[in-house]
């Protein structure tokens, strides 16, 4: 097998590990903001990275329409890469602004910056 295939397979495996850690974090983390971090691990590490891996895998083989598969995976990965952080930011902002969740920060950089 060539380098592209190995690289793609490694990315897909990293995605699986990220998904597992994201799921464990979502169940075990104590409050909303840290759980949001776990959810983002699931979307970036667990969805965008393996999609890039799939693109590399498709390029390394000789299946029909391999460029279409690779391009679609790449674009879906990029869109996920853009949309997931924006969604997480919007959620965190809304939760912070409406004071909807409990929040006991050790350090509050936002408050320091606003002073």
Partner 1 sequence: MKRLIGLLTILITVLGVACYVAQNLTPPENLHPLGEYYLENSYFGEHSAKSPEAVTSILWDYRGVDTLFETAVFFLAIIGSLTLFRLNKEQAEEAKQGEPKPQLPEPVVVVTKLTVAMILAVSASIALHGQLTPGGGFQGGSALAVAPLLVIAAYTKYALEKNGLDKTRAIIIRSIGLLGIALTALTPLLVSGYIMQNQPIFPAKALGVPLGGSLVLYNLFEYLAVGAGFTAVFLLLSIPEEKFKKFLGVRR
Q: Which is nearer to partner 1, 67 or 93 (CB)?
A: 93
Give me 100's structure tokens: 């909807």
Establish if 79 lies at the interface with partner 1 (CB under 8 A). Answer: yes
Quote the least distance from Cβ 18 to partner 1, whole Å.
Answer: 21
For residue 100, state whether it binds partner 1 (rule: CB under 8 A). no
Q: Which is nearer to partner 1, 1 or 110 (CB)?
A: 110
Q: Is residue 85 near partner 1 by the rule CB under 8 A?
A: yes
Query: Considering only CA atoms, which of 26, 55, 30, 50 is closest in space to residue 38?
Result: 26
* Nearest alpha carbon to residue 29 among 21, 93, 49: 21
With binding defined as CB under 8 A, does residue 90 bind partner 1? yes
46 closest CA partner among 72, 75, 84: 84
Minimal distance in Å, beta carbon 35 to partner 1? 19
Q: Which of 52, 27, 47 is nearest to 38 (CA)?
A: 27
Query: Which residues of the shown chain bind partner 1 in the complex (CB under 8 A)?
Result: 79, 82-83, 85-86, 89-90, 93
């Amino acid at each position: 097998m060539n380098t592209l295939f190995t690289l793609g397979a490694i990315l897909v495996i990293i995605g699986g590990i990220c998904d597992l850690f994201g799921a464990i974090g979502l169940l075990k983390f104590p409050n909303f903001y840290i759980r949001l971090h776990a959810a983002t691990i699931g979307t970036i590490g667990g969805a965008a990275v393996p999609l890039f891996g799939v693109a590399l895998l498709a390029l390394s083989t000789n299946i029909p329409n391999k460029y279409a598969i690779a391009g679609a995976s790449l674009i879906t990965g990029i869109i996920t890469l853009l949309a997931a952080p924006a969604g997480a930011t919007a959620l965190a902002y809304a939760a912070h602004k409406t004071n909807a969740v409990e929040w006991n920060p050790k350090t509050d950089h936002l408050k320091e910056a606003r002073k």
